[in-house]
Amino acid sequence: KCFYEGLPTNIIERYLSKINKMGGRIRVGSQRLEMLSNNLIRMIADSGQRKLVIAPECSANLRRVIGKETILDDDILDFGSPNMKYNPISGILYFILGLPGEEIADINEIINLIKNVRCVMDQSGDTEGQLEIGINPLYPKPWTALQYARACKPEEAEKKLKYIVNDLLQSYNASIATDVVDEKVERRSHTLKNSPIKIETTIGTVIPYSQPILSRGGKELSNVLEYVYRKGDMIKTWKEAIKKYGLNENNYFREYDINEKLPWDFQRCLVKKRHLKAEYILSLNKKPTTPCICNCRKCADRCII
């Protein structure tokens, strides 16, 4: 069975139905919008969940690059309306900043999409409802096509977020919350309750600095981790530790050459590096990902057969 694009909807429905019958509670963190069904929404809602993360990730142009070209803005607007087929589940839209090839036009498109979803909510009578938006920078992960991509420096991510918020504030009262960092996503601050748009983000915390380092670091980080553990998980202490042990922070944020040896290359992975290289080159040229046909010889065992 090919899992490259996730489990088919009918299989997910079968699993959730069995969990329901056994008396379990369903909690779905996120789901591909094009794979949602009315039956799946009903089972999630019947379990008491009222919010579901939908991840457009980026502009429609860049969605083609990361394999999400089937997620259309019209479907996202449909999801934003409480009177449409997804009632009574409301969505949290999730976006990533700093994908390869991102331009100001892509950020503007994200802003316009947020405004349009909020407008649909208002037109549908949900003027009291809060549109929740997740926005975070790209954290390149090993054994993905974007493992070679550069990561946003914290100050760069903050600049982009400020640009988005300032634009939104011209039309709506928008607020920012970082309580998601403490894994308290369900907590809703009273002071933010009446804000039409709430942005949940890690930007402005230690996460955008530490995540690229943790994702890409090797054994050279052992002393750094001990130092941060003892002194506190703050950007200041991370920088102190990086300097103390003679490391270069830029090495964890830079773009990697596709031919250089990476710290995690010693690990065995079903996804072959030649496939990841080819996919990354496609992303740099803003070309769609290669289609997965299952049992594909070109990328050599990237699927679990």
* SS3 at position 115: helix
CA dist list (Å): 83 to 69, 79, 126, 145 = 26, 9, 9, 38
How far apart are the C-alpha atoms of 31 and 54, rounded to whole Å? 6
Asked if the model's pLDDT at residue 18 lies above 80, the reply is yes
Greater confidence, 135 or 189?
A: 135
Structure tokens at 223: 């002393």
Which pLDDT score, from 0 to 100, does residue 71 have?
A: 74
Which pLDDT score, from 0 to 100, does residue 190 have?
A: 38
- pLDDT per residue over 249-269, tens digit each? 999 999 999 999 998 888 877
Contacts with 112 (C-beta within 8 Å, 6 or more apart), sequence order: none
How far apart are the C-alpha atoms of 192 and 107, rounded to whole Å? 24
Q: What is the pTM (predicted TM-score) of this model?
A: 0.80
Greater confidence, 225 or 7?
A: 225
Helices (DSSP H) in the chain: which residue ranges?
Answer: 9-21, 38-46, 60-63, 73-80, 104-123, 154-168, 207-216, 222-231, 235-244, 250-253, 273-284
Which pLDDT score, from 0 to 100, does residue 171 have?
A: 87
Asked if the model's pLDDT at residue 84 lies above 50, the reply is no
